[in-house]
Structure 1
Amino acid sequence: MESHGSSFSSPRTYLRALSETPARLARRAVSVSTSYEEMSAVRARSGSDMEKSLGWLDLIGFGVGGMVGAGVFVTTGRASRLYAGPSVVLSYAIAGLCALLSAFCYTEFAVDMPVAGGAFSYLRVTFGEFAAFLTGANLVMDYVMSNAAVARGFTAYLGTAIGVPAAKWRFTVAGLPDGFNEIDVVAVVVVLAVTLIICYSTRESSVVNMVLTALHIMFILFVIVVGLCKGDWNNFTEPGDPTHPSGFFPYGVSGVFNGASMVYLSYIGYDAVSTMAEEVRNPVKDIPIGVSGSVLIVTVLYCLMAASMSKLLPYDMIDPEAPFSAAFGGKWESRVIGVGAALGILTSLLVAMLGQARYMCVIGRSSVVPAWFARVHPKTSTPVNSSAFLGSYMSAA
């Protein structure tokens, strides 16, 4: 496997490297790495090793924080109203099972090759560099654009929580097309604050995530308890409008699976946990518990949330855009939900940005982008010999 880190050393060498693109692409497109190379020579390009400061509890916290964002507050209503009705509870259970099976795949790779690359590294050792490059580019774009959208969503939910319209925190730039002419000051501040936290230390990032996730789960439990206590069990079988189909499966079994395909989006985030495998103290034990455990916990929470919403209102009266706020109806309940959703956005943003940074690090190790993307600062690392770690890991495995 060849290295072209010097291609970015100066404008002249970069231009020369561009002229050699066809030949380099032919050599590298189908070339594959190995687990040993990823964990030794490739990993050594970062200089210092990442500090091994995470255990299974940290990984569960990152997994739950990454998944339980604001998505569940929207997808539940749409899936129930349009596809599954009260059986949306089963839709979440089916989607959770699918997410768990996918999590097992990530776990298998992460245990076999505990490096920060996630899907990018897994593809490099299976399908080659070109497939890894396409996946890495898509992942980076996904993280950048989704993080921007999520940060703007934080402004909206924060405004709901404190009773201030989000428009008051945004200002318009003249000369730009509609939809691209507003700057969200709060979103910018949130992104910068999260960036400073994750740059300081992964250990401290985990502590912050644990605190925010715990608070968020408290709000979710509030929604579940109030919904189950205030609701009516008849709403699980009777629609509000007599002309609509009745029963627990108003749209049939196919509606349950259609709903599952929609609510699966609420589980996205567990894959970011695998990008932190290089910082786990005991990958063989901690990664399976962390990844699978977080998916199981989130599945239970989502099913209970769906049940509470279905108990509060007949499925044909649920607002597909803001189901929980409309179901509770009261002003103070809506504000509580806004606070909970805002906290969920912060945790999902923090986990996503951690994953994004590690993808860029590993892409830098492969020399697809400048090598300085791969550098690990000595102050946030532990100087552990890579070959010694590799030997001890293989003995443990």
Structure 2
Amino acid sequence: MKRSLRWYDLVGFGIGGMVGAGVFVTTRRASRINVGPSVVLSYAVAGLCALLTAFCYTEFAVDLPVAGGAFSYIRVTFGEFLAFLTGANLIIDYVLSNAAAARGFTAYLGTAMGISTHTHLRFTIHGLPEGYNEIDIVAVAVVLLLTLVIYYSTRESSWLNMVLTVLHILFIVFVIVVGFWRGEWKNFTEPENPKSPGGFFPFGASGVINGAAVVYLNYIGYDGCTSSRKWR
């Protein structure tokens, strides 16, 4: 294949894979349902797990100088069958994570436009089970658009990835700055509703671990980026 990416393109893919749109989708759900204010510790736990996994990939890359990725390493180490299961699991992982991020885009779009997401941007199929009966046309359009960009050119997709990654980082910095500026420390210890659990650990240590399992979705991109050596 023709070499079309440079070192900073690969760095951009790596950062974009770890600082993607998922951070804006999973953080709200994890902090509200699973962990509370201690979601910052959930991110630390998830980041540590991702770091240890990256060290394992480094060892594999040194011992097995082939195209990076869990499929290639497991195929060489354990055989074709386990590699097939790993590849299938990775495909499901990427499909579900991309679907979650695209669906979250619809929710944010509806909020920005001041309209109801469920009545204006999603269509309900009453014959399907509850929770699986909403057709999200906007999410499908976003996924198809990004797929066309990636299919059209690797260089253009890298450029789009860098632009979106910069925007994501700016949004995260904005949230941090506004949080320190407008936030109140009492929110860490006093619940808004006295009947609801409050404090920094409203759901205890188990809540931190459960939250880490949810926000780990934001780190899965590094796995795909390990195979970027062959894209050059």
**Structure 1 length normalisation: TM-score?**
0.49
Structure 2 residue identity aligned to 1:276:
S
Q: How does 1:271-282 map to 2 (within 5 A)?
A: 271-280=223-232
Match of 1:221 in 2: 173
Structure 2 residue identity aligned to 1:195:
T
Structure 1 residue 144: Cα displacement:
3.6
Q: Secondary structure, in 3 states, of the residue corresponding to 1:238?
A: coil
Structure 1 residue 204: Cα displacement:
1.7
Deviations 1:76-95 (A, max 9, x none): 34544555443332222122
**C-alpha distance in structure 2 between counterparts of 1:186 and 1:241, whole Å:** 35
Structure 1 residue 242: Cα displacement:
5.4
CA contact (8 A) 2:21 2:168 kept: no
CA contact (8 A) 1:110 1:277 kept: no
Match of 2:184 in 1: 232
Q: Is the aligned partner of 1:60 residue 2:7?
A: no
CA contact (8 A) 1:50 1:278 kept: no
Change (3 A) 1:104 1:188: same
CA contact (8 A) 2:36 2:200 kept: yes
Q: Which ranges of structure 2 fall in alignment gaps of 5 or more residues?
A: none
Q: Secondary structure, in 3 states, of the residue corresponding to 1:209?
A: helix
**C-alpha distance in structure 2 between counterparts of 1:171 and 1:234, whole Å:** 41
Identity of aligned residues (%): 67
Structure 2 residue identity aligned to 1:266:
N
CA contact (8 A) 1:238 1:247 kept: yes
Structure 1 residue 105: Cα displacement:
1.7
Match of 2:106 in 1: 155
CA contact (8 A) 1:54 1:279 kept: no
Deviations 1:324-350 (A, max 9, x none): xxxxxxxxxxxxxxxxxxxxxxxxxxx
Structure 1 residue 162: Cα displacement:
2.5
Change (3 A) 1:107 1:157: farther
Q: How does 1:113-132 map to 2 (within 5 A)?
A: 113-115=65-67, 118-132=69-83
Q: Secondary structure, in 3 states, of the residue corresponding to 1:239?
A: coil
Q: How many residues align?
A: 229
RMSD: 3.2
**Structure 2 length normalisation: TM-score?**
0.79
Structure 1 residue 186: Cα displacement:
2.8
Q: Is the aligned partner of 1:94 residue 2:45?
A: yes
Change (3 A) 1:92 1:274: same
The structure, 1 or 2, with the larger RCO (C-alpha pairs under 8 Å, 6+ apart) is: 2
Change (3 A) 1:182 1:81: closer
**C-alpha distance in structure 1 between counterparts of 2:140 and 2:23, whole Å:** 24
